[in-house]
A and B are shown apart, each in its own frame.
Chain A
Amino acid sequence: MNFSEAANTGLFFQLAPLLVFLPLTGMLINMIFGGKMSEKAVGTVASLASGSAFVVSVLLAYSLNAVHGELHTIPFAEWIHIGTLQLDWTFRVDSLSTVMMLVVSGVGTLIHIYAIGYMHEDVRFKDDIKRFRRFFVFLNLFIAMMMILVSGDSYLMLFVGWEGVGLCSFLLIGFWYDFDTLGQKSTANAEAGKKAFIANRVGDFGFLLAIFTTFWHFGSLQFDSVFEAATAHPDPVVISAITLFMLIGVTGKSAQVPLYIWLPDAMAGPTPVSALIHAATMVTAGVYLVVRSAPLYSLVHSASYIVAMIGAVTALFAATIAVGQYDIKKVLAYSTISQLGFMVAAVGMGAYVAGIFHLATHAFFKALLFLSAGSIILGMERGHHHLAHGHGDHDDADAHHDEEVFDPGDMRNMGNLRKQMPITFWLYMAGTLALAGIFPFAGFWSKDEILLDAKLHAEHFPGVYWLLSLAAFMTAFYMGRQIWMVFFGKERTEVAKHAEESPPVMTVPLMVLAVLAVFGGALNLPFDGFHNLGHWLEYTIGHVEGLPLDLGVAGISTVLALLAIFFSWLLYGKNPLKEGQPDPLKKPLGFLFTGMENKWFVDEGYKALVITPFEKLAKFLSIDLDWNFWHDWFHDSVLYAGFKWLAKFLSEPVDMGIINAIADKLAEWTQRSSESLRRMQNGFVRSYALSVLLGVVTILGYLLFK
């Protein structure tokens, strides 16, 4: 049997489980044997594991093509079977999932390779060589989890991967858990990881509710049966509920308003992580989920509109913040949020192809940007080390700690890096232009498609177009700002002067990505006879009208982008920033810029509105209610002391006590009897006799007068 035969008969579909198990194998190998392997070997194993998954993805895509996109499900294992609840682990190979697989494993592999170089240096700067291996273990685990996410055939499997990638995200953000982003000893990175996990969990909570609602109304969690049942009995309330619950999940995972707050902090992770997880793959899972649930979303317009608006608002909101950031990665992070907003807006409007298209191109150019930023930061670090130690002596840990804090990611410390890091510069430029949406870079095509969709559907989704256009403008502006600040002007620090270019192991994958960023638009060119991605996805989401290029929209957006870059040149390029000079925007924008700089105080708002009240509540519940009230007061004081009191009261015989009280009141002997009270303990025969007589009188009284 030759290759094409195997493809045609669907034999390759049986390979689907390998998508998950190859990365897992890599992970296990590194986990178990990695300790004795060299860094290169570890990196190679991990990259191979990821790469082989890419190969499998390609094979699957090829086979799928050969069978004309016919959906294939590959049952793998029974998971939970209770009554009508039938949950299996089944792989789903369709045109949508293969796109995701390709993007994930493809970009993933490149980043693995890049990371070999990056982490080699990073662990040395941070003085913990042993952690090199751990990074690749986590990275492989991430690929496996992401594969589960995109290849699952039911909402639950999707959820499994969904949570799994959340875990990896947590682990990788907190990879340098004993530092902060500046390399100082701190819990900051760990906190960032925790924040990401928890914000994601909030989203997962919504997702879970969506799953429950789905199950109890449609009796299944398998995609096709759910869609079938939903279209058969389209109950708008139920479907709205499901889709909106799901939306909570999407906002969490894809960093949309209001749950996006974790993503900027997630930049605490090593740069490859930011590129892979927090730009290219994991964060797009929400987009994938919406596309996957397209049959549901298309049934309820109001829910779709909410999705679209959330996306659009996020796109603009995050873009404004990006304008005010100084950290090179933070700018990219907010840019990512913004771009995710584009995608979410697109899929919300039903422009699934556009959304996925942008997802793919964004994966390329944003990964490129992040990795280049990583390269820049490392370059700065190298310069920094060069200055600090003369000969780059990494082992002198003590000296390391005593240094003044230096932030290698702060753009204000850079300037004119074009000279020191020419390769990186050109790569970065490619990414920037793609992101800014300049013709003919990849971003241009995908963003334009989204804008076009928004324009076309403006009557159903009012406002989306304008928000997105504005966001696109801002995007070009802040990218321009970044370029001018980083690569042009004068070096603002000594370090910048000594920055060094990165080795090929890092730059080569970047080049591949750069190529993709430049030509990625070819995936779905808006001309008749192309629309390749659209046609490919038709197998899964049904027929989509391939939109032609709308010169109006494209023109406006291009003009806007160029204008933005021009403005940025005016502000940052023409008169380069001096050392210690405040941002030129600060003056004209005033408090607005303060807001942008400070991320609109959202974190502070969360702290004031959510975290502090929660901590107060927790404190109240645990210290006041549970411990002081419930444990100490109720148990010890009320139960125990009350009981003791009763015992004491009764042991100074109860009748005596009562009599005593009555007598005291009646005769006002209180003062005089204080002495006798003391003596009125027990031990008096006569009192005992009194008790007996009291008993007699009571019993007789009861019997006679009852």
Chain B
Amino acid sequence: MVPVNYYIALSAILFIIGAMGVLVRRNALIIFMSVELMLNAANVALVAFSSANNSLDGQIFVFFIMTVAAAEVAVGLALIVAIFRSKNSINVDEINMLKG
């Protein structure tokens, strides 16, 4: 049997990669995808814990997270599209009129 630690470690790695994506990519869409990866990593941890704890709560939570992710995606993509229409770019580095 695989120790739960390994799963958590994997989830941590994925999470960190996701976070890195937010930090280093300039494409709003990819940043967004990276956030999805972070959520996904959390899901892995939850399912692993759920299995280890022998409790379905974790899995249910994963389900909700997926739903929320879907909702976020709807709003997020709409926002990105809207921004693109006015700025003709989804480079987050160019979305910096507000600063100081």
Contact A683 B26 (CB under 8 A): no
Residues 674-706 of chain A, each 1 if its beta carbon lies under 8 Å from chain B, else 0: 000000011111100110010000000000000
A682 to B24, CA, bound (A): 16
Contact A683 B23 (CB under 8 A): no
> If A693-B19, A693-B23 touch, does A686 touch B93 (CB 8 Å cutoff)?
yes
A693 to B24, CA, bound (A): 12
B27 smallest CB distance to A (angstroms): 11
Interface flag for B95 (CB, 8 Å):
yes
Set A651, A681, A685, A693: member contacting B92, Cβ < 8 A: A685
Chain B stretch 14-54: residues in CB contact (< 8 A) with chain A? 19, 22-26, 31
Contact A683 B22 (CB under 8 A): no
List of B residues within 8 angstroms of A683 by Cβ:
95-100
- Interface size, chain A (Cβ < 8 Å): 10
Contact B100 A686 (CB under 8 A): no
Residue of B nearest to A696 (CB): B19
Contacts from A to B (Cβ < 8 Å): 651, 681-686, 689-690, 693
Listed from nearest, the 10 A-B pairs whose CB atoms lie closest are A683-B99, A683-B96, A682-B99, A685-B92, A689-B22, A681-B99, A690-B23, A689-B23, A682-B100, A684-B96
List of A residues within 8 angstroms of B97 by Cβ:
683
List of A residues within 8 angstroms of B99 by Cβ:
681-684
A690 to B21, CA, bound (A): 11
A655 smallest CB distance to B (angstroms): 13
A682 to B100, CA, bound (A): 5
Residue of A nearest to B28 (CB): A685
Set B19, B31, B100: member contacting A685, Cβ < 8 A: B31
A-B contact pairs, 8 of them (CB 8 A): A681-B100, A682-B99, A683-B97, A683-B100, A686-B25, A689-B19, A690-B23, A693-B23
B89 smallest CB distance to A (angstroms): 13
Contact A651 B100 (CB under 8 A): yes
A693 to B15, CA, bound (A): 12
List of B residues within 8 angstroms of A651 by Cβ:
100
A439 smallest CB distance to B (angstroms): 100
A689 to B18, CA, bound (A): 12
List of B residues within 8 angstroms of A689 by Cβ:
19, 22-23
List of B residues within 8 angstroms of A693 by Cβ:
19, 23
A686 to B27, CA, bound (A): 10
Most buried by A among B97, B98, B99: B99
List of A residues within 8 angstroms of B92 by Cβ:
684-686
A457 to B9, CA, bound (A): 110
